[in-house]
Structure 1
Amino acid sequence: MNLTELKQKAAQIRMDLLNMIYHAKTGHTGSSLSNTDILTALYYNIMQVDAANPKWADRDRFIASKGHAVESLYCILADKGFFPKEELATFSRFGSRLIGHPNNKVPGVEMNTGALGHGLSIAVGMAKAAKMDGRSYRVYTLMGDGEQAEGSVWEAAMAGAHYKLDNLVGIIDRNKLQISGSTEDVMGLEPLEDKWTSFGWNVVAVNGNDLGELCDALEAAKQTTGKPTLLMAYTTKGKGVSFAENVPHWHHHVPNDSELTLALQELAASLEGMK
Structure 2
Amino acid sequence: MKPEFNPSSLRKTVVEMAFAGNAVHLGCAFSIIELLSRLYSRHMRYDERNPDDPSRDYLVLSKGHGVMAQYACLYELGWLERHDIDSYFHDGSRLKGLSDAHVPGCEVTSGSLGHGLSVGVGLALAAARKKSGQRCYVVIGDGEINEGPIWEGLLFAAHAKLDNLMVIVDANGFQAMGTTDEVMQLGDLNAKFAAFDFDVLAVDGHDMSAISEAIDALEAMNNGRPKALVAKTVKGKGVSYMENVNVWHYSRLNPDLYAQALREIEGASA
Give the TM interval when normalised to the shorter protein.
over 0.9
Does 105-114 or 148-157 show the bigger shift?
A: 105-114
Helix, strand or coil at the partner of 1:62: strand
CA distance in 2, matches of 1:166, 1:85: 37
Aligned-partner SS, 2:251: coil
CA distance in 2, matches of 1:212, 1:42: 12
Task: Provide the secondary structure at the position in 2 that maps to 1:131.
Answer: helix
Deviation, 1:46, is 1.1
What whole-Å deviation, never above 9, does each CA across 1:46-81 have from its counterpart, x for those lacking one? 111223222211100000000011101111111101
1:39-118 alignment runs, 5 A limit? 39-118=36-115
Aligned to 1:149: 146
Say whether the 8 Å CA contact 1:203–1:231 is kept in structure 2. yes
1:250 matched residue in structure 2: 248
CA contact (8 A) 2:142 2:173 kept: yes
TM-score, structure 1 length as denominator? 0.94
Runs of 4+ in 1 over 3 A off after TM superposition: none
Q: CA deviation at 1:18?
A: 0.5
Partner SS for 1:68: helix
Q: Is the 8 A contact 1:79 1:85 kept in 2?
A: no
Which TM-score applies when normalising by structure 2? 0.96
Q: 1:44 to 1:85 in 2, by over 3 A?
A: farther
1:263 lines up with 2:223 in the alignment:
no
The gaps in structure 1 that reach 5 residues or longer are: none
Q: Of residues 139, 147, 162 in structure 1, which corresponds to 2:159?
A: 162
Q: Which residue of 2 aligns with 1:234?
A: 232
Q: Distance in 1 between matches of 2:80 and 2:248?
A: 28
Q: Is the 8 A contact 1:30 1:253 kept in 2?
A: no
Choose 179-188 or 260-269, whichever is displaced more.
Answer: 260-269
Which of 211, 214, 224 lines up with 1:214 in the alignment? Answer: 211
Query: Contact 1:27–1:71 (CA<8 Å) still a contact in 2?
Result: no
Structure 2: which amino acid aligns with 1:116?
L
Secondary structure, counterpart of 2:66 in structure 1: coil
Contact 2:16 2:85 in 1 (8 A): no
Aligned-partner residue type, residue 104 of structure 2:
P
Paired amino acid for 1:121: S
Q: Following the alignment from structure 1 to structure 2, what is the Cα–Cα distance between the partners of residues 93 and 131?
A: 40
Give distance in 1, aligned partners of 2:72 and 2:34: 13
**Gap runs ≥5 in structure 2:** none
Please report how far the alpha carbon of residue 27 of structure 1 lies from its aligned counterpart in structure 2 after TM superposition: 2.5
Aligned to 1:202: 199
The CA distance in 1 between the partners of 2:57 and 2:220, in whole Å, is 16
Counterpart CA distance in 2 for 1:224 and 1:251 is: 36
Q: How far off its partner does 1:150 sit?
A: 0.4
Write the distance in 2 (CA, Å) between the matches of 1:31 and 1:132: 34
- Report the Cα offset of residue 159 of structure 1: 0.7
Q: 1:252 to 1:51 in 2, by over 3 A?
A: farther
| Secondary structure of the corresponding residue to residue 244 of structure 1 | coil
Aligned counterparts of 2:200 and 2:225: Cα–Cα separation in 1: 10
Which one of 10, 20, 24 corresponds to residue 23 of structure 1? 20
| Secondary structure of 1:206 counterpart | strand
What percent identity do the matched residue pairs reach? 37
CA distance in 2, matches of 1:40, 1:162: 31
